[in-house]
Amino acid sequence: MAVSLNASSATVTITGVNKIVPTVAVVRAGAGTDLLVNAHLSNNFDAGATSITGAAAGEAWHAVGKVGVGVGPGDAAELAQWNFGFLQFQKINALTLYYNGATRNGGGLVVQAHFPPALGRASGRDSGTLDPNPPWLRVGTAGTLTVDVAKGVATAETGDHPMVLVGSRRQNAKTASTNYLSQLVDDRQFVTVFSARDPQGVYTHLAHFAWSVVWDFNFVWVDSEPRPRRGGPTRFTMGPVVLGPPTDPSVTGFLANPAAAVKLGTSEQRAALLSAINAPPPNRIDSEDPIGAYPDDFYTF
């Protein structure tokens, strides 16, 4: 006998979505440091624990995948070579920061971290912290850890809480004036896939769901602090669970060998942002004039 997979029995249950609201927090990295702006999803977020490397945040949403698996009395060794878990792919559509002077003659600048060379590729495989079990989002994916043999069910879990942390001030190279954050645009799409991998390394992509988040916030400055205002289409969208593999062209090329896909997780996004901050055009453009929206009440002295 051999381990058998009942792919048509796969289910994925997602919770926490109704608590998600894309928003921003204004925080400090520490005493005497500049203010930072942290875009987050509200659910399971603690702004008070924010540091220069990120915020204390739990999963904004949580997913549980289940699928039927048949295991015979002599299949223990084979089961240990199976894997059940979640993969995730990300596409970064925009990561743009606008800064402007306290007055119009202070100029403006824009940081566009989603453009090359700061970000070499807009689509890739998302990953957990340090990517300890590629291509899976979590460790502990072996069949011996995920399959309840008595019930004939494999169970895997995952969750996510994408964020971005940005500085609130930059020095304008053209005017030598301090420029202040006036707009943040972070636009990302994700596809999360519940998958099984057999001992030969062949994947069966059991079910998937697509979701996206856009933060688009404008800021005005009052009492030397940024005050957020919703700008464009700030939103969080969670699509339905669909059985089978995803058909999104930005993902399909990764499905046969997900571990070989370009990694595009939190570390890569942060590196792209840090690279773009002091890079030449098109990643950073300094101007003697304001850039983007510049309302009359942008900076109140």
Residue ranges for the chain with pLDDT beneath 50: 50, 52
Identity (one letter) of the amino acid at 290? P
Q: Please give the DSSP secondary-structure letter assigned to residue 275.
A: H
pLDDT, one tens digit per residue, over 225-248 is 999 998 889 999 999 999 999 999
Q: What angle do CA 18, 163, 275 make, to 5 degrees?
A: 160
pLDDT of residue 42: 96
pLDDT, one tens digit per residue, over 126-142 is 997 789 999 999 999 99
pTM of the model: 0.94
Total domain count for the chain?
1
Q: Which of 226, 217, 218, 222 is nearest to 180 (CA)?
A: 226
pLDDT of residue 31: 65
262 lies in which domain range? 4-300
Partners of 218 in the β-ladder: 183, 229
pLDDT of residue 49: 53
